[in-house]
Every structure is written in C-alpha cells, then in structure tokens.
Amino acid sequence: MKVIKVFSISLLSLFCALLIFVGVLGYWHAGNIKAIVYTMLYSSDELGNMLDETYKEVDEFLANNPQYNVRPAGELEDKLHRENIISDDEYVELITGKNNIDEMFGTDLTLDEKENITVTETGEIITSQQAIDMKDSATSSVTESNSGGITTDQPGQTTPAQNNDDKISACVAQMYVLKSTFTSSLDSLYSEAIAKYKALPPAERESGKEFIMNELYPRAVELEKQCDMKVKAVLTELTALLKEDGQSLELVDKIRTAYYQEKSVRKAVYMEKL
C-alpha cells in the first residue's frame, strides 16, 4: 500500500508539474488540460485513431440526412486543397457534389501508397504544378464549350433561389474547409519547428528547443484564435438557418462537439511528438 501511495503521489506531482509548465505557456483552459490528459493516457497510435473518429457522429448524421448534400472530403481532396491545387470554392464543389475530380482535372486522379498524386489510368506520378496545369486546361475547355451558354453563379455564392437545405450544406462544407485549412497551417508550423531544431548544431539543440517554442507558440495561438472566430461565425449562421427552417439544432451541437474534441486530440498529438 505504501508503494502504491508513493507512486500515486509521484504521478500527481508529475501531473501538477505538467499543468504548471503548460499554464505558463497559456494552456489553462479545459481543452488544453484535456490534451495533457490524453498525452498521458494514450499512445501516438491511439491518438491517431481518436483523431480519425472525431467527426464520426457528424459524418453519420449527414449520411442519415441526405437533404444536406455534403460529405466528408476524401484523402485526395484534402491533399489537393492543402497543397493549394484547388481553392476553397473548388473544395466545396467537390464535397457538395457539384463537381468531381474527373471533370475538374480532365482525368481521374488518386493517391498511391506514398501519398503521391497519380493519374489513375497510367499510375503516373504528377507534381502539384502539373495538377494545377491539368485543372486549368480542363477549366479552359469547359469555358470554351460553354461560351455561348448561360452563366452560372460562382461557387460559394448564395442566391435567393437557394433553399435552406442548400445554405445549410454550404455552412457544413465551410466547416470541412476550415478543418483542412487550419490543419494544414498547424502541420506547416510543426514542420518549421522540426526544421529549425535540426538546423541547430547538435550541442545547441537542447537549449535551442525553448527558443524555437517561444518563437512559434504565439503563431499557433493566433491560428487557433482565427479558427475559433471563423467556426463561431459559421455555427452562428448554421443555427440561424436551422431555426428559420424549424429544424433541430442537433447538427450544430455535433459539429461544435467534434470541433473542440478535435482541437484537444490534435494538441495531444503535437505534444506527444514534441
């Protein structure tokens, strides 16, 4: 019993030390404390699985409510968006079924085992610039063939003719856009931190870690603030649309829960890596 008590006290001391350390960096709110707990309780593989499951309830809700014509993005679509090969509006077009990869690029694309973008029919690996050129070429062909036709609204713009379900779908699609955008930004920030660390002489790396963290941490905080503001705006609009239509706010609750859970798990993933 004495050994167990000593172990418990040591564990509590370690946990308190972690809280104090993270608190100094500004990590006092609930989501960050949850991230610390996750880091202590789960392995990197388990955290990865938790991250994959974050939006499961939202995805299931959308699947069971086909009037909202929006679906989760696939890995290829996410990669195309994160590498700026497709724009936010084009990303929305894909996940709301208003366009598809084949039409957008003039051919079908996929990812190989190493996550390279490849042409499905030939297996040819293409660069980001080649993908952009293919998309521009396909767009030009469509524009020329429709030059004498009636123009349509630009992606992302709502019109009076849109019903509430279309507007609700557009709001949900924007959540997936934000998810992709800010995940990419955080991944870039993490890669920058690793690159700065590896660039230091081996003898200076231990002392240099704190300097790198102090330099990049405010940027991560600012990214989170920006994302929080944009998510709040989207959920406010989504709430108004659902109320106007006399619908349940279950979708808003599920998205909000998924968003904050994802933030906690993703922070835990970065903490575990660092």
- Which tens digit of pLDDT belongs to each residue from 127-160? 999 999 999 999 887 655 555 544 444 444 444 4
Instruction: Report H helices in 25-118.
Output: 30-41, 44-53, 56-63, 75-82, 88-95, 101-105
Q: How far apart are CA 173 and CA 158, in angstroms?
A: 13
Residues 6 or more apart whose Cβ sits within 8 Å of residue 135: 85, 86, 104, 105, 106
- Does residue 204 carry a pLDDT above 50? yes
Tell me the two tokens of residue 69: 């014509």
Q: How many residues does the chain have?
A: 274
Residue type, 108: D
C-alpha closest to that of 264 among 25, 56, 58, 37: 37
Burial of 244-268, coded b for 16+ CB within 10 Å and e otherwise, reads: eeebeeebbebbbebbbbbbbbbbb
- Among 36-40, 46-50, 107-111, 192-196, the range scoring the smallest mean pLDDT is 36-40
- Among 6-10, 99-103, 131-135, 261-265, the range scoring the smallest mean pLDDT is 6-10
pLDDT tens-place string over residues 110-133: 999 889 999 999 999 999 999 999
In order of 82, 190, 194, the CA distances from 216 in angstroms are 20, 9, 11
pLDDT band at 210 (very low <50, low <70, confident <90, very high): confident
C-alpha closest to that of 182 among 85, 44, 88, 49: 88
* pLDDT for position 38: 83
Q: How far apart are CA 179 and CA 78, in angstroms?
A: 10
Q: How far apart are CA 155 and CA 88, in angstroms?
A: 9
- Does residue 1 carry a pLDDT above 50? no
Q: Look over the chain and give the mean of its residue pLDDT values, rounded to a whole number.
A: 82
- Among 23-27, 212-216, 222-226, 244-248, the range scoring the smallest mean pLDDT is 23-27
C-alpha closest to that of 40 among 18, 23, 22, 25: 18
Burial of 80-107, coded b for 16+ CB within 10 Å and e otherwise, reads: bbbeebbebebbbbbbbeebebeebbbb
- Per-residue pLDDT, averaged over 77-95, amounts to 94
Question: Where along the chain do its domains lie?
Answer: 2-30, 56-98+162-273
pTM: 0.76
Q: Are 118 and 101 in contact (CB under 8 A)?
A: no
Residues 6 or more apart whose Cβ sits within 8 Å of residue 234: 171, 174, 175, 178
Tell me the two tokens of residue 65: 């409510």
Q: How far apart are CA 228 and CA 168, in angstroms?
A: 19
